[in-house]
Amino acid sequence: MKIMAMLGTCNTNNPAVLAWVKEMTELCQPDRVFWCDGSAAEKEALTVQAVEQGALLKLNQDKLPGCYYHRSHPNDVARVEQCTYICTESEDEAGPTNNWAAPKEMKAKLLGMARGAMKGRTLYVIPYLMGPAGSPLSKVGFELSDSIYVVLNMGIMTRMGRIALDELGDSDEFNRGLHCMLDVNPERRYICHFPHENLIISVGSAYGGNVLLGKKCLALRIGSYLGRKQGWMAEHMLILGVESPAGETTYVAAAFPSACGKTNFAMMIPPEQFKGWKIWTVGDDIAWMKPGPDGRLHAVNPEAGYFGVAPGTNLKSNPNAMRSIARNTIYTNVALTPDLDVWWEGKDGEPPAQATDWQGRPWTPASKDKAAHPNSRFTAPMVNNPALSPEVNNPHGVPISAIIFGGRRATTFPLVFETFNWQHGVFVGATVGSEMTAAAVGGLGQVRRDPMAMLPFCGYNMGDYFRHWFHMRKSLKFPPRIFHVNWFRKDASGQFLWPGFGENMRVLKWIVDRCHARANATETPLGWVPGSRDIDLSGLDGFSAEQLEKALAIDVEEWRRELLMQEELFLKLHHSLPKELLFQRELLVSRL
């Protein structure tokens, strides 16, 4: 093997780390190995290199200081659930909602593909920390990747470099992640998780959740597996704090499927009438939660940045996101204007008269294709967010008072309801359905069951995952109340029944007030529903109490159909379904 140049400073004597990097280096045979330290100087140097190599394009620095642009291969624009595997000894452990492969065979196949795959390339060693330094919930990972784009994204999305090595010390407890781009060929694309070994191998992709291994792979799939073993929860949830004019802050976690508005909700600015109310963002995508000594559920955000969907992001839908992405941001697969600014469908202002689309083709407003890919993204550091919670680095996390589930549903689900208790809440979370979005390949618009918004992210048998949820109740003296929301209900003419965005504060206030036992609700077959007078509509011009009633209405016929649709999930999981879920279903049937 060629003698490799060692760049960056290795900076660790941890024998387990050194041994693994050596083994993978011998396998992948890169020309160079670069140890990332996470410093500002390193970021600058790597960015210059990425521009020279064509991986990044420097955007208009007057308009977007520190911002860069990337296009992924057109065959590689979203998470690929069909190529994502959980590799456990028994297929039953992965369960019927995951693709499964035997670990030995899959590892042999992937390592075979990785052999010599980095010849002529650089292997970047990316040490990263998920979660605040010093937190009992935090985890260290090492991603070995041949993509400079991955390094620069991981530098935003995680606490990368020295801080992770310091946290790890001499321990051999870290996630091993290998990422080889290969020839970015969908035929040779595999995102594989080996939970028993705390190992991830991703090959053949260079985009988003497939390759930023700290995010979906470690923080959710491996995380959920470890959480069950160790008595905590890894969830696809935003975390936010609601501060009242009296200075009381109530923390809420919410699970919505991908591209259903978690980032918008987490960064919401309350409407003008809500003087003195303030939303603080703790996280926009993932929550790690553990019972605290006070008997409450405490949550940390394992990430340090936002990998958000660009289309539809504007000053109305998410002003804080617009501020967060104004500097030091990487844009991927959006459109480019002639003055090197970015554009996407739904951005503020008129569309540019001319642009270059996400595939590098000339685009005008008359073009039939979209300028930005529907799953185009921004990668922005959380420190850019004007509403970033001061608690984001608190190693103890924040105490959660409410958990909210939600999906994108044109019918059936009312704007909001509160479940009767934790067990009922688990049932409601387990049966979440949502219309599919562009965040994953395939099925756009179809309603699919997405339990707890974790269908693509649960690293083990979904039936056991539900059991773990029921079990967690036992370690909580003060469990969060559980709610369901639907911002996406439409009337017969296809118009949204609720204005959404910042106006969701009105619903959130009711939720917070319920947590403090100071809001009214009516008992219905679904749970506790606010009356139209229980939600503050002041200043919401042109929106009447009758409209709110429509958004809150429950149609028993629609619910009969919904129950039948839910059956599909129950049949798929019948082998491992906890009986509590069947009881809850029976209770709902009898109430209806």
Find the helix or strand (DSSP H, E) in which 58 lies. strand 57-58
Nearer to ligand OXD, 86 or 165 (CB): 86
Binding string, residues 110-149; x marks residues near ligand OXD by CB under 6 A: ----------------------------------------
Number of CB atoms found within 10 A of residue 243's CB: 17
The nearest distance, CB 307 to ligand OXD, in angstroms, is 5
The nearest distance, CB 439 to ligand OXD, in angstroms, is 4
Name the CA radius of gyration of the chain, rounded.
Answer: 23
- Using CB under 6 A as the binding rule, whether residue 439 contacts ligand OXD is answered as yes
The binding site for Mn ion (CB under 5 A) comprises 258, 285
Q: How far apart are CA 490 and CA 498, in angstroms?
A: 8
Nearer to ligand OXD, 285 or 418 (CB): 285
Beta carbons within 8 Å of 353's beta carbon, 6+ residues apart? 364, 365
Q: Count interface residues toward ligand OXD (CB under 6 A).
A: 7
The nearest distance, CB 276 to Mn ion, in angstroms, is 31
Q: For residues 515-534, which are near ligand OXD according to CB under 6 A? A: none
Beta carbons within 8 Å of 251's beta carbon, 6+ residues apart? 239, 240, 241, 242, 282, 299, 398, 399, 400, 401
Name the residue whose CB lies closest to ligand OXD.
Answer: 258
Tokens 């009381």 appear where? 248
Find the helix or strand (DSSP H, E) in which 529 lies. strand 528-529
The nearest distance, CB 258 to ligand OXD, in angstroms, is 3
Q: For residues 75-114, which are near ligand OXD according to CB under 6 A? A: 79
Structure tokens given for 462: 């979904």
> Residue 483 is which amino acid?
F
Work out what residue 209 binds among Mn ion, ligand OXD, none; the CB cut-off runs from 5 to 8 Å by kind: ligand OXD
- Using CB under 6 A as the binding rule, whether residue 209 contacts ligand OXD is answered as yes
Structure tokens given for 220: 């959710």
Is 260 labeled as catalytic in the residue annotation? yes
- SS3 letters for 261-312? CHHHHHCCCCCCCCCCCEEEEEECCCEEEEECCCCCEEEECCCCEEEEECCC
Q: Out of 28, 180, 260, 515, which one is annotated catalytic?
A: 260
Work out what residue 439 binds among Mn ion, ligand OXD, none; the CB cut-off runs from 5 to 8 Å by kind: ligand OXD
- Using CB under 6 A as the binding rule, whether residue 258 contacts ligand OXD is answered as yes
Cβ-contact 268, 277 below 8 angstroms = no
Nearer to Mn ion, 125 or 282 (CB): 282
Q: For residues 277-336, which are near ligand OXD according to CB under 6 A? A: 285, 307
The nearest distance, CB 127 to ligand OXD, in angstroms, is 22
Give residues in contact with ligand OXD (CB under 6 A).
79, 208-209, 258, 285, 307, 439
Residues classed as catalytic: 260
